[in-house]
A and B are shown apart, each in its own frame.
Chain A
Amino acid sequence: MKKLGNTCKENVAALKGILTSEDILVFAFETQDGAACAAIYADGITDKALLGEQVARPLSREKTPKTAQEAAKILQAPETKTETDPLKIADEVLAGNTALLIDGVAEAVIIGMKKLSMRAIMEPPGAIAVKGPREGFIEDLKTNMSLVRNRLRTPKLQFKTLTAGKQSKTAIAVGYLDGIADEEIVKKIVDKIECIEIDGIPDSSYVAKFLAERPNSLFKPTGTTEKPDVLAAKMLEGRVAILVDGSPIALTLPYLLVEDFQGAQDYFVSPYRASISRLLRFFGVFVSVFLPAMYVAAQLFKLQILPLSFLLTISGSVQGIPLSPSLELFFLLLVLEILIEASVRMPKYVALALSVIGALVLGDTAVKAGLVSSSAIIIMALSGISAYTVPDLVGTTSILRLAFVVVAGSIGTFGVLLMTALVLYYLVTADAYGVPLLAPFSPLIRRDLKDSLLKTSMYGLDKRPKVLQSKNKTRLRNKGGKVNHGKN
C-alpha cells in the first residue's frame, strides 16, 4: 500500500478509505501558524478529553512542526510513536489509539489514548480466598500486566507482546522471569502463538487450544488463574504466563495436574492445614469419579464387599426400582449435569424456584414414586458435591464419572480397574513442553513432593520445582530464617 504523503487532507482521505465505519471520527484543528491537523480516532474507545488536552491544545499554541518526531515532542502524551504505513496506522486506530496527521509531515504520530469502560478490579468469583489477596484480573491486558508488574518489581520480568487473530487483532502478552523460566519453553510458546491463524480470539481459552500439545486431550492443556498473586507465584517457580486482551483468565505453562489440587490459600495457612485441604481435594475427586462406579459394580457384581447391615439397607431401598443400578445412576448423573448447566445459565430470579424443583420434585418425589432409590440419590449428590472440591477439574471429572459408570455397569469391577489403568497409562505418558503431566508422582521427583498433595513449611520449599528445569534453582537462601546481624 502507498505510504503517507505530505498533505493532511490526502492522508485523511487515504485512511478514511480504509476505515470506512461511521464510528471512526476525524478531529480537525490547526497549528498556531494555520497548518491543518487531523486526529483520527475510534469513537468510544479513545479518551477525547486527553485528545484535547495533550494533542490539540499544545499543537494549536506552537508553530507547525517539520517532522513527526518534532510533533511528538510538542505533545504532552507519554506514549507516542511514528508510522508511515496506512494499514498499520489503521490497526492502531482500531486498537483505541489516535493517529495524528499534520500538513507537510509525511508521517503519522500514534498516540496511546485507549480508554475502555472496564469493570473494577475485584475478587474473582471462581477463586474466592478466605485469607490472602483478593484482587483478580479484568478484561484489559495492560491492567493485568500492571497487576503482575506490581507484584514482581524486578527488571527480570519480561513481557513479549504479540498479536493474533486476523480480524480481532487480539494482543497477547507472554510473560516470564528472565533467568528463571526455561527460555526454550518461552520460545516454543511464542512460536506457537505466532503461528495462530484464526479470525478472532475472544478469550484466552482459544489460545490454550493452540498451545496444547495434545489438542484432543480430556485434560486441561494449560494451567489457568484469575489471580495476580497466583500468577506471580507460578512465574517465580519458573512458569511462563500468557495474558490475552479481553480475558480475565491468565494461562500458565508448563502445566502439571497436581497444580489443580493446590489452592492459593494453602500458602497462607499452616502446612498441616494446607496438606489436609489438599488430601481432601484429592479424596473429593477420587470419590466423585469412583463412588458411582463402585456403587454400580458392588450392586451388580460384588455384593460381598458391602457389610451385611449396609447391604440390607441398600437392598431394601432398591427393591422395586424399575431401572438397573447402572441405568439408574447414569440417568441421575445426567440429571445432575442438566441441573448444573441450567443453574449456570438461568436468571437469578428463577434460580430459587428451579432449586426447589430440582431438589424436591426430581429428588424426593422420584424416590417416593419408586423411580429411583434413595441410596442412588445419595451417591449422586456425594459425587456431584465432591467434584467441586477441585473446580478446575469439574469438566474432566464429570465425563470420567459417566464413563466409569457405563463401564462398571457393563463389565463391573474389572472394567473400573481397566478404565483406571487406561487413564493412568494416558496420564503418565502425557508430556507437554517436556514436562510430565503427572509429575512429581510419575516420574517420581522427591524434591517436588514437598509441594504436591502434601505441603511442607516455607523453609522446606527452598528450591524451585525440579520438573520445571529452571536455571536458577534456589528461591530461599536463608533457610533457617535467622537474622543476619553482620559484623563490622
Chain B
Amino acid sequence: MERIKVRQLCFYFVAMMPVAKLLVYPATLTYQSKNDLLLSAFVNCLAEGAIVALVMLLAKKSGKSLFALLENTFGNITAKIVYGVFALFFFASALLPFMEHKNFVLQVMYENVPSIISFAPFFFVCFFACVKGFKSIGRMADISLPIFIVAFAVLILLAFPHADFAALLPLQGASAGEVLRGSLFSANWYTEAAFLLFFLGHFEYEKRASVKVIASYAIGSAAVLLFLAVFYGVFSDIAIRQQNAVAQISKYTTSFTSLGRVDYLFIFAIALVMIFRLCVPAQMCVHCLCKSFGCKPMLPAAAVNILLLALTVFFNYSFLELQTLFTQRLWFLFALFAYALPAAALLLKRRGAHE
C-alpha cells in the first residue's frame, strides 16, 4: 500500500507538481512581482529544487523513512509528535488549493449549480484516495503523465500565437523587494519537498535516482515557468485579474475560430490531473495521522475529509481573506515546513543505536 517507485516520483514532479500552480498562482504572483513574475517563480523553484536535492541525498545515505530517522534521533514519542505536527501542516496546505479548485469549478465549469453542492463529492474521491495510500499517488502519476503532456502542450500551443513576450520586459521592472516578496508570499504553492520527505523509505533508492528526480523537478519547474511566461505574454497588464489562468490562457485562439471552446477538453484533462494532485496533501495528512496514532487509514481519512469539507463550507465566501492569510501572513510557516524542516532532516541520525 505504501510503496512508490523512483519513476513514479519523477512522473509526479513532471506532471502533477505543475498543475497546482496553474489556477490562482500566476495572478497572485503578477500582483506581487508584476512583469518580473518569472524571476520570483525561478527563486522559488531554485529553493525548492535545492531542498529536493537535499532530501534525495538523505534518501541515498539512509534509505529509511522519516519516522525511522526521527525515532533513531529523538525516540518514538517525539517521532509521533513530529508526524502529528506535519499532519496539521498538510491539512492546512490542502485547504487553500481546495478553495482554489472550488472557485475554478464554480467559475469555469458551471454557471448554475451551487459550488458547494458541485464540489462536495470531491471529498468522497479524496477519502477514497486517502484510504489507498502512497501506492495510489505513484500509480496516478503514471496515468497523469501522458494526460498532462498532451493537454499542457495543446493549451500552450493554442495560447502561443497571442502571447507578446515583450510584455515581460524590461527585466527587473519590479524592485528586488517586490520579487522577493512575490517568492515568499507564494511559499504555500511550493510544498513538494515536504511531500518527498515523507516518501523517504517508501521507495527503493536505485542508481542515479537523485539525478532522475532532480531532472524531473527541473522539467516540471520549466513547465511552470513556460506557463507563466505565456500567461503574462497573453494578458500582460490584465493578468492580475485572470484568476483561473489555465482556463483563460487559450480562450482567444478558440474564440476566433469556428471550433467552439475545444480547449475546454484539454482544460478538463488538466483539471482531472489537478484532482489527483489535490488529494496528495490530504493523503499525506492521513499518512501522518496513521503513523502518529498507529491506526488504519479509514478513520483518519474520514475525519480529515469531513473537516476539510466543513472548512470549505465555512470559508465559502472568504477565499480572498483566506488567501491573504495564507500567502501574506502565514508564509513563514509554509517556508518553515516546506523548506527549513526538510533541509534540517539531514541532521537526523541515520543509524539506530542497535545498528
- Residues on A facing B (Cβ under 8 Å): 300-302, 304-311, 411-418, 420-422, 424-426, 428-429, 436, 438, 441-444
Contacts and interface: CB of A to CB of B under 8 A. Distances in A.
B173 interface: no
25 contacts: A301-B111, A301-B112, A304-B264, A306-B260, A307-B258, A411-B113, A412-B113, A412-B118, A413-B110, A414-B118, A417-B268, A420-B272, A421-B272, A425-B136, A425-B140, A428-B143, A429-B136, A436-B139, A441-B142, A442-B142, A442-B143, A443-B5, A443-B8, A443-B138, A444-B7
B162 interface: no
Given A304-B260, A414-B118, A414-B122, 5 more contacts: A307-B260, A412-B110, A414-B109, A441-B143, A443-B5
Interface stretch (B30-38, B125-133, B287-295): B125-133
A308 B118 contact: no
Contacts of A412: 109-110, 113, 118
Nearest to A305: B264
Contacts of A301: 109-113
A251 B89 CA distance: 49
Chain A facing B: main interface SS: helix
A430 to B, nearest CB: 10
Nearest to B115: A414
Interface in B97-111: 105, 109-111
B319 interface: no
A422 B268 contact: no
Given A304-B261, A305-B265, A309-B258, A428 B119 contact: no
Interface residues of B, number: 39
A415 B118 contact: yes
A60 to B, nearest CB: 70
User: Of B138, B143, B262, which is in contact with the most chain A CB atoms at under 10 Å from its CB?
Assistant: B143
User: Of B119, B142, B258, which is in contact with the most chain A CB atoms at under 10 Å from its CB?
Assistant: B142
B169 interface: no
Contacts of A307: 258-260
A157 to B, nearest CB: 35
A43 to B, nearest CB: 57
User: Of A412, A416, A421, which is in contact with the most chain B CB atoms at under 10 Å from its CB?
Assistant: A421
Contact of B122 (A413, A418, A426): A418
A429 B132 contact: yes
Contacts of B128: 422, 425-426
B174 to A, nearest CB: 35
B121 A418 contact: yes
Given A301-B110, A301-B111, A415-B118, A422 B125 contact: yes
Nearest to A311: B260
A306 B260 CA distance: 5
